[in-house]
Chain A
Amino acid sequence: MSPSNEDQETVRIHIMGKEYEVPKGLTMMDAIEHSGYRLIRGVGCRGGFCGACATLYRLEGDYKLYADLACQKTVEDGMYLMQLPFTPAGRKTYDIEEIGRDGNPLLENYPEVARCVSCNTCTKACPQDLEVMDFINEAIRGNIENVASMSFDCIQCGICAARCPAEIPHHHVAQMARRVYGKHNLPKSDHVAARVREIEGGEFDESLQEITSLSREVLEERYESREIE
């Protein structure tokens, strides 16, 4: 992967308008770092889960504006990219105990969902390939369960909100739906309550005490040799 390797196949990309030549096969994030940028924002888990590295790009000769996660998408020749680590979008404060028992809390808290003209730009922009416009329509109809299940894989990157001509904060609407649904509709999980009782009963105090008294070296050794599925 060394840039001095002459046999290495490279692609030409533009980062925020400046051209770079980078090895083929890198993710957008690796390519940005390879080109000398140090990422402080716009980077998170590097595993496609946290949604911090939302990136917009265009390809030469293609009118479409694409969006993807920098840690997941590999660079292509002629790619113009720009990171969008944060999208300003109003998020409501609410009491989860109080909302969602009746009425349509999504429409009440985010009345702008009714501005949707079904242009589908949000869906086209979603790096998770969610049917964003369809779940906004479910929000208008007050179907919290459908919003929750259709938006389950949302990683809150916010690109939908940045692209929406109706200025809807889709990801916050969907998050509210999942929280309300989880709070009021899903059955309580007995094993979590049982485990909380165990913890409160002091069942793990001893092992916690032991582990906090260990040295860094021993902890690292235990971490490295741990059994994982």
Chain B
Amino acid sequence: MEELLYYPGCSLKDTAIGFEESAIYASRQLGIELKEMERWNCCGTVYSLTADNLMKQLGPVRNLVHAQEEGYEKVYTLCSMCDNTLKRSNRLVKNDPEKLEKINSFMDREEDYLGEVTVKHYLELLRDELGWDAVREPVREPLKGLNVAPYYGCMLTRPKEIGLDDPHNPTVLEDFISSLGAEPVDYPYHSECCGSYNTVEKKDIVLKQAGKITSSAAAAGADLIITSCPLCHYNLDTRQSEYIRRENSSKPVPVLYITQLMAVAYGNSDVCKFDKHAIDPREALALENKALKER
């Protein structure tokens, strides 16, 4: 089994535990052991755009130092936000030796970051290193007839310097869905912002966004939506359920993490922790999938 260094991020240890557990399970079916970093801290959550304040770069860069200390050249992420923050900070210090020197000098307890670690998202591992045929291989419960809407959000593809696909016409999630035997659903809001942190202070903005995105996916025939971002998941799942209650509107569309869909297709939905979801996807999965229904 090949061992890859894995950075979980805080959400995957708490609200998005089903994302982590399904990813560990699905990876093993692909012959890969995700080895969690021995030491890691919050990624920084949001990449800081204040050019002269390096304090906010310490968190992400320290994680890269830990990856380097553990002797790895690559570290893999699952959460879109962690992926985005780590990649952008990495890019900043790789391209700006002066800033890197200042950060290294501040972090005087750790070894200097040499700027040689590469951050990769799990979808890049599947697409670029394993290939879709390998992803298809362990499928035991083909998701035939299941219509799945890909949701990219902002963080996977933007900005283009670190994005893992074309920011306007990404296809990686569609290919991912097809490789598991399901049907990708085309709808106009796959890269629309979910409303992000407005969910804390200005919930209404997010209710509206979640309603717009999910009802558009539903109108296009989606049985469910997939994402790799815990914040998008919260907004599309929890806020969608509130939107539906408030508007007394259409039937809810469950939202899954990418690796939960893999785990279902590979024949183990127990690792998905679906009970943590506001909108339980089990019904949609069982109704649309004969193989699952029979079990």
Please give the residue numbers on chain A whose beta carbons come within 8 Å of chain B beta carbons, in ascending order: 104, 116-120, 123-124, 133-134, 137, 140-143, 165
Contacts and interface: CB of A to CB of B under 8 A. Distances in A.
Contact of B109 (A104, A124, A134): A124
A174 B36 CA distance: 24
Given A120-B107, A134-B39, A140 B58 contact: no
Interface of B: 10, 13-14, 39-42, 44, 55-56, 58-59, 62, 106-107, 109
B14 A117 contact: no
Contacts of A143: 13
5 contacts: A116-B41, A116-B59, A117-B44, A118-B41, A142-B14
Contacts, number: 41
Nearest to A131: B39
Contact of B55 (A124, A134, A165): A165
A118 B109 contact: no
Given A104-B14, A116-B41, 20 more contacts: A117-B55, A117-B59, A118-B41, A118-B44, A118-B58, A119-B58, A120-B58, A120-B109, A134-B39, A134-B41, A137-B10, A137-B41, A137-B42, A140-B10, A140-B42, A141-B10, A142-B13, A142-B14, A143-B13, A165-B55
A173 to B, nearest CB: 15
A133 B41 contact: yes
Nearest to B56: A117
The A interface, classified by DSSP as helix, strand, loop or mixed, is: loop
A163 B260 CA distance: 42
In this complex, the member of A116, A118, A119 whose beta carbon has the largest number of chain B beta carbons within 10 angstroms is: A118
A29 B7 CA distance: 45
A117 B62 CA distance: 10
